Structure formats: C-alpha cells, structure tokens
Amino acid sequence: DKETTERVLSEYDYKKDPKGTRYYFKEIGYNKPSEKEYVEDVKHNFDGKEKTQDLTPIIKEEPVVEPKEEPKQEEPKAAILKLFPQTGEEVKTASMIVGLVVIAGAACVIYFQNKK
C-alpha cells in the first residue's frame, strides 16, 4: 500500500488544539563505535520542513441526534392493585385474586383447625 495509516494512542488531548495544527518528528541518529560509547552523527527534520513525517489530527464531527420523546400511555389501575408492588410488565388481575383467595382459604383452614 502506498500510504500507511497508523493509530497513535496518547494521553494528550489534541482536540483542544487549533484546527490545522500539525505535529512532526525530529530524529537523532547515533553510531556505536564501542560497547559503551554512542556518538551522535545525524540530525534530521529539526525544522519540520519534511512533510512526510507530519501528523495532522483529523477530528470527525458526528451529528448529535436527539432522542425522540414519546408520550407514555398510562393504563387505568384499580385501587387494590396499587397496594401491592408491580414486578411484572402487565398486571394479572385474575391471578392476583386467585392467589389472595388461596391464601385466605389456607388461613381460615389453619385457624379453624387450631380452634378445635
């Protein structure tokens, strides 16, 4: 490929810089004549004139989409239904009444058996 695109991760927030700001790399080359000795021999792009070593951040502006608010439709609820917590999506009136009758019946059976 002719051009290489590389993503650079950094902690610097380049979005605060003015539009059109460019960054460039300075290079310093070293030779190693001996095991513990380094000698500087090349300095490259210290003035930033070589355009092939530029980084120009491109900030894609994304349109802000506001969520549409839909009016909520409230279902009429009986006074008994407001006494108990609603844990399901729909209120099952018949199953709630059957449950209350079963509990009341069990309570009556226990009460009258203990009374004898």
pLDDT digits (tens, 9 = 90+) for 41-97: 888 888 888 888 887 777 777 788 887 777 776 665 555 556 666 666 666 788 888
Residue 48 CB neighbour total at 10 angstroms: 13
Is residue 48 assigned to a domain?
yes
- State the residue for tokens 């608010």: 69
Considering the entire predicted model, what is its pTM?
0.35
DSSP-based three-state secondary structure for 56: coil
- Partners of residue 39 on adjacent β-strands: 31
Structural domain of 34: 24-59
How far apart (Å, rounded) are the C-alpha atoms in residues 95 and 79?
A: 16
Query: Residues near 91 by Cβ (< 8 Å), separated by ≥ 6?
Result: 75, 77, 81
Domain total in the chain: 1
Is residue 35 assigned to a domain?
yes
**Is the predicted pLDDT of residue 108 greater than 90, yes or no?**
yes
Is residue 93 assigned to a domain?
no
Is residue 86 assigned to a domain?
no
How far apart (Å, rounded) are the C-alpha atoms in residues 25 and 9?
A: 16
